[in-house]
Amino acid sequence: MARVILILGGGIAAYRALDLARQLRHEGMEVVPVMTEAAKQFVTPLSLEVLCGAPVHDELFRPGQESEIGHIALARSADLVLVCPATANLMARMAQGMADDLATTLLLATAAPILLAPAMNPHMWSHPATQANLALLEQRGVRCVGPAHGAVACGETGMGRLAELDEILAAVRSTLSGGTGLRGCRIIVTAGPTVEPIDPVRFISNHSSGLQGYAIAGALAARGADVRLVSGPVFLPTPPSVQRINVRTAEEMKAACLAQLPADAAICVAAVSDWRPETVSSRKMKKTAEAPPVLSLRENPDILATLSHVAKRPALVVGFAAETDDLQSHAEQKRRRKGCDWLLANDVSRHPFGGQKNQVLFLTENGTESWPEMTKPALAEQLAERVVAFFQKQD
């Protein structure tokens, strides 16, 4: 039974840690609760104790337990330390190596993996000090899940909302598994849109945010894979331990993918423009009173099909398909036509580009599975586990 030490920081999202504790126990984990003084302002120790089935630890020195140096014994006993919510203050104290209460002392003393689930005001999250603290913690091996984009308690909207609980649970499972299931595997991931210029001002593109592809790249890297993220133009940070190659056009994306071969797997998540202008004007096309200009188009390269049939074909090629109707039929036709091993298809009329959630059909030569609606990071974790299982069968 895995022993998870759950540290609650002092933020309004602390109430969600109560349900998280219940779900961790439901999955068979032992949950040891630790509260900061600030956390007690938001939830009661009694509530947490009942849901964890264990007494709350909240004091650095406890008479009767110091013969075994209680906080050190607690730190040594953990298989994982989960901080939820991780506030800006708690992250700053961690980055500085402070040990002025039980939570920070435990975080400094443990040899177990540490997983943070940040939650705070969007301006606090984006502040350079918080981002510098996060970067330093990640350099030291601390893993972070979230935050998500959305409305927060203060009424603002932005990055700072606590990640969905299924996403946190998936990250807990991944961290406890050791994060080495894909060590030695090189995996190409494409993400984001492509941009096809018409003239120096205009272009053909789409609404892809890159969120799903970046989440997949991060989930694979967390399992030890050597991930090469070939990305169209997006406004997203590069996931930890991922090598990012920036491109703009479909031709550039194809060339970048082929340059990363040989690879063990390729996961094509990018929304590649199907067409590009036959010619690109070197000057801005002027609007005139005459008939509008005629735009001649030519077909772009099919990157998924190319990687499925290339001489140095990866052992596993995965594609994504965005459809608006007849999802099952169109997806199966596309999987066969492209020649990929797996295809994940979603209905963008129900889950448009840029959304935080996704629901897909998972198609292989053995049949189709309907995955339930989940956050994009949670879907990334589920797909990453399938990739791990695929390569374990190859060994």
Distance, CA of 303 to CA of 306 (rounded, Å): 5
DSSP state of 68: G
Annotated binding residues for CTP: 274, 284, 301-304, 320, 334, 338
- Residue 139, C-beta contacts closer than 8 angstroms, at least 6 positions apart: none
Residue found by looking up tokens 């959305």 in the block: 150
CA 166, 168, 173, 179 dihedral sign is positive
Contact in structure between 187 and 267 (CB atoms under 8 Å) = yes
Cα three-residue angle 4-149-270, rounded to 5 degrees: 100
Is residue 154 among the annotated active site residues? yes
Annotated binding residues: 274, 284, 301-304, 320, 334, 338
Instruction: For residue 302, give the amino acid letter.
Output: D
- Residue 259, C-beta contacts closer than 8 angstroms, at least 6 positions apart: none
Instruction: Single out the catalytic residue among 52, 84, 144, 154.
Output: 154
Q: Helices then strands (H, E): number in the chain?
A: 13, 21
User: How many beta carbons lie within 10 A of that of residue 51, not counting itself?
Assistant: 21
Measured CA distances, 280 to 194, 207, 292, 295 (Å): 16, 22, 16, 10
Distance, CA of 98 to CA of 39 (rounded, Å): 18
Q: Where are the alpha helices (DSSP H) in the chain?
A: 14-26, 45-52, 70-76, 88-95, 102-109, 122-126, 128-139, 165-176, 211-222, 250-259, 303-309, 327-338, 376-394
Distance, CA of 315 to CA of 389 (rounded, Å): 13
Residue found by looking up tokens 């984001």 in the block: 192
- Catalytic machinery residues: 154
